[in-house]
Copies of this chain bind each other. A is one copy, B any other.
Amino acid sequence: MMNKQVVLRKRPVGMPEADTWALIESEVSDLQDGEVLIENHYISLDPAMRGWLNDTKSYIPPVAIDDVMRAGNIGVVTESKNPKFQIGDVMTGWGGVQQYVKTDGEGYFKVDTSMVPMTTYLATLGMPGMTAYFGITEVGKIKSGDVVLISGAAGAVGSVAGQVAKIKGCHVVGIAGGPEKCAHVVNELGFDACIDYKNESVYKRIKELCPKGIDVYFDNVGGDILDAALANLRMHARIVICGAISQYNNTGHIQGPKNYLSLLVNRATMQGMVVFDYAAKYRDAATEMATWIMKGQLRSEEDIYEGIENFYPTFLRLFNGDKRGKLLLKVKA
């Protein structure tokens, strides 16, 4: 049986180009005892993937040249020589950008798709949803009545972070690109307001919409938007540094937040987070969020494209804004 795989060919400078990866095909070898074969149905596309291409110290090692591109995945067991896994089990883990993955099952979790669809395990009940949940509750320390600002509000993480903050009784303002996304954030996701950073002054709109300032800012983007948030902090504000999508493809220096002394004036805190630190609590959070989804309080937004050969153009959607919610690639033929 042939397995199509996307492998890393070179380390990009700035925005990756088409020849950063190559699509190869190889024969799947026979299973050894203890192994299981998973047919990937969906792979997860995340901004963090850009960081994994750089050969620099980070929270996990970079993807090696000629290795299969790292990605979260969900699929179905089609063969098993491991008594813990049965044919038909739905498994999620780090299967990479390929059609089949052979594994001893370490780091994989069996999931129940009777209540929510498979894709939701890569979205709201997956890494982006966990990032949002722990970022906004444990790092942002939201409490009822807080004024919460969320950048990337139409994205996989921001859409969940804002909805969780609404469920917890906060006043939630989003930031997204374009009137259509902003309308969606307010009308479908239930945010109190949304700032269109492509057509409005983010600084002025924050000032208008949050006249007393912001208690919590959940930052997915960095750059000028982070500076606009810093200029509008309330006393003892918390800034959750979850990502900096505006900076990931920079070829020059990262743009540092020039308004960081607002932390001093407002006795505020800026704290970085990596979702893996909360792994021991994933299950409880997923249970809570699944309940919200089933009650209709939380929407899992998934934007699904098809075909492993479309990995590169789909990846670009992470950075050009041309997607809504969690970006997924269906790789099952």
The distance from the CB of A229 to the nearest CB of chain B, in whole angstroms, is: 13
Interface size on A, residues (CB 8 A): 33
Give the residues in chain B near A58, CB-CB below 8 Å: 265
The distance from the CB of A152 to the nearest CB of chain B, in whole angstroms, is: 14
- Does the CB pair B265–A268 fall under 8 Å? no
The distance from the CB of A248 to the nearest CB of chain B, in whole angstroms, is: 9
Closest to A258 in B: B256
Assuming the contacts A268-B271, A269-B271, asked whether A258 and B263 have C-beta atoms less than 8 A apart, the reply is no
Of the residues B256, B262, B274, contact of A257 by C-beta under 8 Å = B256
Q: Contacting chain B: which of A238-246, A296-304, A306-314?
A: A238-246
A interface secondary structure, majority: loop
Give the residues in chain B near A253, CB-CB below 8 Å: 258
- Does the CB pair B242–A59 fall under 8 Å? no
Give the residues in chain B near A263, CB-CB below 8 Å: 241, 270-272
- Does the CB pair A272–B277 fall under 8 Å? no
- Does the CB pair B270–A260 fall under 8 Å? yes
- Residue A13 CB within 8 A of the other chain: no
- Residue A264 CB within 8 A of the other chain: yes
Q: How far is the CA of A263 from the CA of B263 in the complex (A)?
A: 14
- Residue A113 CB within 8 A of the other chain: no
- Residue A78 CB within 8 A of the other chain: no
Which A residues lie at the B interface, using CB under 8 A?
57-59, 222, 227, 241-244, 247, 253-274, 277
A267-B271, A268-B271 known; 18 new pairs, CB 8 Å cut-off, are A59-B264, A222-B261, A241-B261, A241-B263, A241-B264, A254-B258, A255-B256, A255-B258, A256-B256, A257-B257, A260-B260, A260-B270, A263-B272, A264-B274, A267-B274, A269-B269, A269-B272, A270-B271
